[in-house]
Amino acid sequence: MTGLEIKNLSVTVHEKKIIDHLSIKVPKGEIHAIMGPNGTGKSTLSYTIMGHPAYQPDEGDILLNDQRINDLPPDARSQAGLFLALQYPVAIPGVTVANFLRTALNTRRKKANPNDRGIPVPAFRKLLKEKMNLLKMDPAFAGRYLNDGFSGGEKKRTEVLQMAILEPEIAILDEIDSGLDIDALRVVAEGVNMLVEQNQMGVLIITHYQRLLDYIKPDAVHILMDGKIVRTGDFTLATELEERGYDWIRQEMAAA
């Protein structure tokens, strides 16, 4: 399958099983949403997929385009086409947005082709300007230090800018809506939708509000509870959750 496939994944953190035999497929060009209450393992899942050393699977397979990537370090996973937009992006004072993005792009190019000399500065400037335009970002932003003093919305826009420059095959978006006002949310969503349409990017979008899914329409919605996917449905499942909360699912599970 072209895309991301998680098979029977279990993850233990500090002797507690957080992800419990979870399976999910995110084909390229599709948008899959994971919703679930706080503390249910959503971020743990995204860290595990990216290869965070503190989140190693006990069992199960993580496949990207049919290749098992369990044993690859995070940078190799990124190289292979995965991208994780963080819930809490970190600030790097002293490194400008432009320099950070150019380094990220050149690192990727060099891994793909060791003889690559990097993107020439004028070409990079043009690319950056084009992508910032699409995301309605003030060009002055490129010269600011990465995430240093950025508002919540600016940080998320910068994550999406990075995604637009690196053009991943699969993006995992962990609560990118937290801290966004409605205008910023719309811009971020437009950026994601554009990458899905133009590049057939696959998206695993993690959120606990339905609101984001009004702007980024998922092909499927999965509910994560106690480390398991307990239900999968279409967009209407998100609306139902918004209206009824999660307790009814627990009750139905207990009754079954």
Binding site for ligand ADP (CB under 6 A): 13-14, 18, 36, 38-44, 54
Cβ nearer to ligand ADP, comparing 42 with 102 = 42
Beta-carbon contacts of residue 180 (< 8 Å; ≥ 6 apart): 152, 153, 156, 188
Q: How many angstroms separate the CA atoms of 244 and 196, rounded?
A: 30
Cβ nearer to ligand ADP, comparing 13 with 127 = 13
Near Mg ion by CB under 5 A, which window of 21-29, 39-47, 78-86, 115-123?
39-47
Near Mg ion by CB under 5 A, which window of 38-46, 66-74, 119-127, 238-246?
38-46
Residue 224 and residue 6 in contact, taking contact as beta carbons nearer than 8 Å: no
Q: How many angstroms separate the CA atoms of 231 and 223, rounded?
A: 5
Q: How far is the CB of 44 from Mg ion (least distance, A)?
A: 8
Which three-class secondary structure state does DSSP give residue 34? strand
162 is a site residue for Mg ion (CB under 5 A): no
Cβ nearer to ligand ADP, comparing 43 with 78 = 43
Q: How many angstroms separate the CA atoms of 221 and 213, rounded?
A: 10
Show the tokens assigned to 191: 């950026």
β-pairing verdict for 31-35 and 220-225: parallel
Q: How far is the CB of 194 from ligand ADP (least distance, A)?
A: 27
Residue 41's binding partner, choosing from Mg ion, ligand ADP, none, with beta-carbon cut-off 5 to 8 A by kind?
ligand ADP
78 is a site residue for Mg ion (CB under 5 A): no
43 is a site residue for Mg ion (CB under 5 A): yes
Residue 39's binding partner, choosing from Mg ion, ligand ADP, none, with beta-carbon cut-off 5 to 8 A by kind?
ligand ADP
HSE value, Cβ hemisphere, 13 Å, CA-based, for 163: 33
Q: How many angstroms separate the CA atoms of 88 and 1, rounded?
A: 31
**Interface residue list for Mg ion (CB under 5 A):** 42-43
